Structures are given as C-alpha cells and as structure tokens.
Amino acid sequence: MTSLEIRDLTVQLGSREVLKNLDLYISSGLFAAILGPSGCGKTTLLRSIAGLITPKGGAIRFGKQLVSISSLVLPPHKRNVGYVPQEGGLFPHLSVEENVSFALGRRVSRKEKQEIVEQLLDLVGMPNYQKKLPQELSGGQQTRIALARALAMKPAMILLDEPFAALDQTLRAEISQEVVALLKSSKTTSIMVTHDREDALVSADIIALMRDGQVVQSGSPSEVYLRPISAAAAESTGDILTLPARRIGRNKYLSPLNSPVEQIGKQVGFESGQILVRPEEIVLMDEPDENLVSAKICKINYYGHDALVELDFTGLSQTIRARVTDTKGLVVGSRVFVSHKGPFRWMPEKATGE
C-alpha cells in the first residue's frame, strides 16, 4: 500500500496544455475514482502516474518516494504500478496463464508461476481458465484476467483506465462491483478513470472531479454529491437544478421553490445569485397549502424505479424537474404545491459560471 501525492502537475502534449497545475492526494489503501467528461485529461493523468508520460512540471510522490519532478521521471518498470488499459490489453496469442505470468518476468520459477497464477485466477473467480485464449473469453472475463495480471507483480498501486467501458450496462454493474470488492479486500491503493458517475459514486472511497485539466474538487462520494463547490462540479455527479435566488439573511434565501418569481425580483438591495438543488430534494403535494408555491405539471417521465416530473412555475422561463418514487395522483396539466427538503447550496452571482 502507498499513498499518492501530486503537486502542480502540468502536462503539455504538442501545443496543448492538457493538465494545468493539478493537485491531488489519495491516502494509502483507498479506491479512488477520477471522474470527468471526455477530453478533460483523465487518461493523461493516469498515464502520468504510471510514468508513461513526461510532465512539463510538478511533482508526483508514491508515499515518501519522489517518482516525478519536472522532467526527471522514474521509468514505469521501476514504479511498481499495475496498469489496466481500457480494452484490457491482453496478448491475443498468449493463453490466460501466459498473460498473467507475463508480469512475473524471469525472476520467478516455472513452478512458482503456476502457483501464483492459480491463486490469482481463484481470486478473480476464474479457476481452470489457464489454457484459454483471450478471444475465447467474454469482455467481463478479459477484464478480470487483466486485473489478475496487474496484481501478479504485487503492485503498490493499481491504475484502471475505464476498465468497464466496453461492457453492457448489466454486465458492467456486476463486474465493476466484483473488481472493486477484490481491490478493496487486497488493500491496494487503486485509481480508476471513468466518465460514469454511478460507477464513481457506488465504488469509490474518494472521488476527484476533473474539468479542463484540473481537479476542481475531491472528497468522499457523499461530500462531492451533497456539497459541490460549483454548478459544474454538481453536474459531474448527478442531475442539478440551477435556480435564480436572492440572499435575504444568514442562511435565508428566496427562490422559485419558496417564493413567487415576481416577488423575488422586487427584493432590491439583497445579494443576487443562484441555488443548486437536486431533483430528488423537491417534494410535491396535491393538497393546497397557502405557505407553499404552486406549479403546473407539464410532463411526467416514468423510469420504473422513479420518475422525473417537469414543472412550470409562473414567471420562470426554465422548467424545474422533481424526482419522485410514486406518481400516484400526479396528472399532466394539474397543479401541485412544492417544497424543498434539502440544503440550499448558495452560489454568489460571480461564481455561478465556475
């Protein structure tokens, strides 16, 4: 086990600066997810950690060991890092046994290799697959074998580059749970790159949100979901509503969820901004309540396990979505009364676009 510390990491590929003064810390033994949209620099970060890219500047430490500073880079084979690429990266002409034992090199005897391979195949739930070729395996099985190969060298750290991206949704959920459980039980520091927010929220001990070559926020799944530092960070982990608001006192806000829109605009002299609200925090009631604002149901999107109800508020140009688990009594065209059960995530006007 080892911790990872990155300070001011900058990577330039050609004329483009892909990573920009990036900072990140992951404690020893944790499973971390690097979450962000395509093109934000996730894979470049992972390859920099592995030693496959020479940074322009900054430092990378594994525990107390400095593995990269400026252009002085410890080569990949000296970092004791296991790397699982997007497609698994198995050698098609080698059997499962040969693929897994490849990582052991020549320092281990043939008998020891066989014993280690058997142990690892048992560990990943694929005993008796030694003689199979990669093309005889399913996508999920190939991912497990790639993981067994990465674990064969007893790495201090495992790096996974979107390892479940090629799997269908049902298989992805099953295999990802198995792989994450395996890595956590091994207490190996693990870092997974993904653009799937559900994968990150379900699997990770810590999530690092990336945007435009930087880590904009990191923390536990509940922390980054419930307390995002910006609208962009909030969007990375789930559906978010950005609503106009005014702050009228300490922890007191006026928004379309608690005040008629025309009344909000009349509150001059108060700070303007926005609040961030998750759709599941909006509660709908069909019984009239003079203390609550009302809205008209304009659409109901039913998903089986829940539904998204689209609401039209008088004077508000945007549609507000409420996530509910029961659509009984909700009818398109009818009016409902709305309340908000959750934190008011206040974003001052100057910070709303960050």
**How much is the pLDDT for 339?**
92
Closest CA to 214 of 15, 24, 13, 16: 24
Judge whether residue 169 has pLDDT over 80.
no
Tokens of 105: 């090199």
- Return the number of other C-beta atoms located less than 10 Å from residue 23's C-beta: 14
Cβ pair 142, 88 in contact under 8 A: yes
Where do we find the tokens 């904009």? 216
Give the CA diameter of the chain. Answer: 81
pLDDT tens, position by position, 52-74: 999 999 999 999 999 999 768 89
Cα 18 to Cα 9: distance, rounded to the nearest angstrom: 10
Region 269-287: mean pLDDT is: 89
- Model confidence over 12-25: pLDDT tens digits? 999 999 999 999 99
User: How much is the pLDDT for 353?
Assistant: 45
> E strands within the chain?
4-13, 16-26, 31-35, 57-62, 65-69, 72-73, 81-84, 157-161, 189-194, 206-211, 214-219, 241-249, 252-254, 271-277, 282-285, 293-302, 307-312, 320-324, 335-340, 345-348
Q: Please state, for a pLDDT cut of 70, what percent of the chain lies above it.
A: 97
Beta strand 31-35 with 189-194 is parallel
Q: Residues 100, 121: contact at Cβ < 8 Å?
A: yes
CA distances 183 to 1, 151, 197, Å, are: 11, 9, 19
Q: What is the pLDDT of residue 352?
A: 45
What CA–CA distance (Å, rounded) separates 106 from 84? 21
Instruction: Provide mean pLDDT across the span 261-280.
Output: 80
**Domain at 241-351: CATH code:** 2.40.50.140
Residue boundaries of the structural domains of the chain: 4-237, 241-351
pLDDT at 354: 47
List, for residues 31-43, the tens digit of each pLDDT value: 999 999 999 999 9
pLDDT at 200 over 80: yes
Question: In the predicted model, is pLDDT for residue 46 greater than 70?
Answer: yes
Per-chain mean pLDDT for the chain = 89
Per residue in 310-350, pLDDT (tens digit) is: 999 988 989 999 999 999 989 999 999 999 998 879 988 76
Top mean-pLDDT range of 250-254, 283-287, 301-305: 301-305
pLDDT at 201 over 50: yes
* CATH no., domain 4-237: 3.40.50.300
**Strand-pair partners of 214:** 211
Residues recorded for the chain: 354
